[in-house]
Amino acid sequence: MNSQDFIKMEDEYGAHNYHPLDVVIKEANGVWVTDVDGKKYLDCLAAYSAVNQGHCHPKILEVFIEQAHKVTLTSRAFRNDQLPLLYKKLHDMTGYDMFLPMNSGAEAVETAIKLCRRWAYDVKKLPENKAEIIVADGNFHGRTTTIVGMSDDPDSYKGFGPYVEWAFPMHKFGDLEDLKSKITPNTAGILVEPIQGEGGVVVPPDGYLKGIADICKERNILFLCDEIQAGLGRSGKLFAHYYENVRPDIVIIGKALSGGFLPVSGVLADKEIMLTIKPGEHGSTFGGSPLAAAVALKALEVIEEENLVQRSFDLGAYFVEKLRTIKSPHIKQIRGKGLWIGFVLDQKARPYVLKLQEEGLLCKDTHETIIRFAPPLIITKEQIDWAVERIEKVVHEFDK
């Protein structure tokens, strides 16, 4: 079967809830992926930052196979010998007391919402069923029915209601005055991405996260930080909120937590918050499985061993600097932090993305005019040079 055969079969028998590029990937290694026709591409999306460690990282693969031979799933009805090691590692790396494991990012966000509400009723003593969590415009936190109700993107929410709109008041991302105006006596939490990923790598103004942290402290509100895409090195820090030296009350992680091997996500918090949820009140059959825990532990070790956070910081600066040498009337802005770059055009980005695909570089357009470059953090300077050459060539093709 060639690419066209696979695409036809997929479109015939699979739901059409995505609009993928017509590239059918068969294998991948490091920063490179290969399609079924044998063409090789440099991956500048890294599965939306889930493969920060690079595709099929050999050390994570080894642990994955080794653990799969022993025991993959026990359910949380029994304990396993891997999960405590992951808990301890996350505690040591982040300083939070505890971790609650789930699978997808959206589940982890749901978990954070539940924790925040439970804390609000048990500790802050809000009246039952009145807790509000303030969110930001342009947010992306996942696709569950509660979460899409927090979105202002019609593609996310339209046709999937009803929603409890008052439960998630929305403020303007980056605007502390607007945020303050949305606070009521029933505000339990403020949930933001430290940098909006799906929104197009939108970096808020300096002082915004610090401002949220201060407001939360003053008003006895929890600061919930969604680091699912921004975290674990992508932004050039272990967490993007480190740029403002703040400590959110709840940090939500996922994606690169498994290096792309399986869905692993979860929530970090201190005991005062985490222990408000009691046995039997939340969980997941697969969350915290021995396979997930073993893989996540190794994925975290790889981030440390290979110095991926600093690499992201240094090489991200290098990538941006090189991109800024490309002169074109259609480039509006190049922004981002670490190896996470929003390349903003004044026209549709999809044609650029398709041309880049022809040139052997895979990336993704978002919000019509933005291309996101987010390669695995193991990328080298030479590979960035190679990418920038292709990007420059394609940009100039559209200048003609």
Ligand X SMILES: Cc1ncc(COP(=O)(O)O)c(C=O)c1O
Contact status: 119 vs ligand X (CB under 6 A):
no
Inter-residue contact 298 to 67 (CB < 8 Å): no
The residues in 20-49 that bind ligand X, with binding defined as CB under 6 A, are 48
Choosing from 64, 89, 99, 140, the catalytic residue is 140
Total number of residues that touch ligand X (CB under 6 A): 15
Q: How many other CB atoms are there within 10 angstroms of residue 205's CB atom?
A: 11
**CB of 175: closest distance to ligand X in angstroms?**
19
Q: In degrees rounded to 5, what are phi and psi of residue 92?
A: -65, -35
Out of 35, 226, 249, 365, the only residue in the binding site for ligand X (CB under 6 A) is: 226
DSSP assignment letter at 202: B
What is the tally of helices (H) and strands (E) in the chain? Answer: 14, 15
Inter-residue contact 212 to 179 (CB < 8 Å): yes
**CB of 103: closest distance to ligand X in angstroms?**
8
**CB of 256: closest distance to ligand X in angstroms?**
11
- Cα distances from 114 to residues 119, 135, 222, 267, 390, in angstroms, run 8, 15, 12, 11, 46
Q: For ligand X, which stretch binds (CB under 6 A), given 37-45, 136-144, 156-164, 232-240?
A: 136-144
Out of 30, 54, 101, 105, the only residue in the binding site for ligand X (CB under 6 A) is: 105
Q: How far apart are CA 363 and CA 357, in angstroms?
A: 8
Contact status: 148 vs ligand X (CB under 6 A):
no
Residue 2, class by beta-carbon neighbours within 10 Å (0-12 exposed, 13-18 middle, 19+ buried)? exposed
Does 37 qualify as catalytic in the annotation? no
**CB of 271: closest distance to ligand X in angstroms?**
25
Contact status: 138 vs ligand X (CB under 6 A):
no
Does 140 qualify as catalytic in the annotation? yes
Residue for token pair 């201190």: 270
Out of 197, 200, 290, 338, the only residue in the binding site for ligand X (CB under 6 A) is: 197
**CB of 12: closest distance to ligand X in angstroms?**
25
Out of 102, 106, 131, 238, the only residue in the binding site for ligand X (CB under 6 A) is: 106
H or E segment at 35? strand 32-35
Inter-residue contact 192 to 225 (CB < 8 Å): yes
Q: What is the torsion angle, in degrees rounded to the nearest 10, for the CA atoms of residue 223, residue 280, residue 89 and residue 213?
A: 10
Choosing from 226, 239, 313, 365, the catalytic residue is 226
**CB of 76: closest distance to ligand X in angstroms?**
20
Contact status: 140 vs ligand X (CB under 6 A):
yes
Q: How far apart are CA 218 and CA 187, in angstroms?
A: 12
List the beta strands (DSSP E) in 239-378: 250-253, 265-269, 331-336, 341-345, 361-362, 364-366, 370-373
**CB of 196: closest distance to ligand X in angstroms?**
8
Q: For ligand X, which stretch binds (CB under 6 A), given 35-43, 138-146, 284-292, 385-393?
A: 138-146
Q: For ligand X, which stretch binds (CB under 6 A), given 22-30, 83-91, 105-113, 118-126?
A: 105-113
Q: How many other CB atoms are there within 10 angstroms of residue 248's CB atom?
A: 27
Q: For ligand X, which stretch binds (CB under 6 A), given 74-82, 190-198, 235-243, 321-329?
A: 190-198
Out of 52, 53, 229, 276, the only residue in the binding site for ligand X (CB under 6 A) is: 229
Q: Binding mask 232-271 vs ligand X (x if CB under 6 A, - otherwise)? A: ----------------------x-----------------
Out of 80, 104, 235, 383, the only residue in the binding site for ligand X (CB under 6 A) is: 104
- Cα distances from 21 to residues 357, 364, 384, 392, in angstroms, run 8, 8, 22, 21
Q: How far apart are CA 57 and CA 36, in angstroms?
A: 21
Would you say 140 or 313 has its CB closer to ligand X? 140
Choosing from 237, 255, 298, 337, the catalytic residue is 255
Could you list the active site residues? Answer: 140, 226, 255
Task: List interacting residues with ligand X (CB under 6 A).
Answer: 48, 104-106, 109, 140-142, 193, 197-198, 226, 228-229, 254
